[in-house]
Structure 1
Amino acid sequence: MMLDVTADGLSLRYGDFEALSDISFHLKGGKIYGLLGRNGAGKTSLLSLLASFCEHTAGSIRIGGEPPFENPRVMRQVAFVFVESHANESEKVKGMVEAARRYRPNFDFEYAMELVKKFKLPADKPVRQLSRGMQSALNAAIGLATRSPLTILDEPYTGMDAPTRELFYRELLNDQERHPRTMILSTHLVSEMDYLFDEVIVLHRGKLLLHEDYESVIGKGASVTGPAHAVDDFVQSMTKLNSQQLGDTKCVTVYGDIPEEARFAARRKQLDIGPVSLQDLFIHLTSEDE
Structure 2
Amino acid sequence: MREIVCSQIEKSYRNNRAVNKLSCSIEGGKIIGLIGRNGAGKSTWLKLLAGHLKPSDGEIRIFGENPFNNLKVASNLILIEDTMTFPSFLNLGELFKMASEFYLNWQGELAKRLLAYADIPLNSYHHLLSKGQASTFNLIYGLAARCAITLLDEPMNGMDEGIRSDMYRAILKEYIAYPRTIIISSHYLQEIEHLLEEIMLIDGGEIVLHSSLEEVNQMLVRLTGEVNAIKEMTGYQDMLYERQSAISYEAIIERNKLDLTYAEQTNVLIQSLSASEVCRLLTNKSKGGIDDVFKS
Mark yes or no: TM-score above 0.5: yes
What does 1:41-60 align with in structure 2 at a 5 Å threshold?
41-60=40-59
What does 1:120-199 align with in structure 2 at a 5 Å threshold?
120-199=119-198
Distance 1:201 1:153 in 2: 14
Alpha-carbon shift at residue 84 of structure 1 (Å): 2.1
Q: 132-141 or 278-287, which moves further after superposition?
A: 278-287
Structure 1 counterpart SS, 2:22? strand
Native 8 Å contact 2:93 2:123 kept in 1: yes
1:64-107 superposed Cα distances (whole Å, 9 cap, x missing partner): 11111122112210101001266983533222222222221111
Alpha-carbon shift at residue 235 of structure 1 (Å): 2.9
Alpha-carbon shift at residue 242 of structure 1 (Å): 6.2
Match of 2:255 among 251, 254, 257: 257
Distance 1:97 1:66 in 2: 28
Change (3 A) 1:66 1:287: same
Native 8 Å contact 2:240 2:281 kept in 1: no
Native 8 Å contact 1:253 1:276 kept in 2: no
Distance 1:288 1:66 in 2: 37
* 1:241 counterpart residue number: 241
Structure 1: which amino acid aligns with 2:205? Answer: G
Native 8 Å contact 1:202 1:210 kept in 2: yes
Q: TM-score, normalised by structure 1?
A: 0.86
* 1:288 counterpart residue number: 285
Alpha-carbon shift at residue 108 of structure 1 (Å): 0.7
Distance 1:174 1:80 in 2: 19
Structure 2 counterpart SS, 1:12? strand
Count of residues paired in the alignment: 282
**Structure 1: unaligned runs, 5 residues or longer:** none
Q: 9-18 or 76-85, which moves further after superposition?
A: 9-18
Distance 1:188 1:111 in 2: 28
1:23-73 superposed Cα distances (whole Å, 9 cap, x missing partner): 111000001111111111111111111111111121111111111112211
* 2:290 counterpart residue number: none
Native 8 Å contact 1:221 1:253 kept in 2: no
Alpha-carbon shift at residue 195 of structure 1 (Å): 2.6
Structure 2: which amino acid aligns with 1:77? Answer: N
* 1:212 counterpart residue number: 211
Distance 1:222 1:117 in 2: 45
Change (3 A) 1:136 1:252: same
Native 8 Å contact 2:9 2:21 kept in 1: yes
Structure 1 counterpart SS, 2:110? helix
1:229-268 superposed Cα distances (whole Å, 9 cap, x missing partner): 4xx45433462536699xx8x79462212578x4455455
Percent same amino acid among aligned pairs?
28
Distance 1:8 1:85 in 2: 27
1:105-155 superposed Cα distances (whole Å, 9 cap, x missing partner): 111111111211222222233333321101100000010111100100000
Root mean square deviation, CA, Å = 2.7
Change (3 A) 1:114 1:224: farther
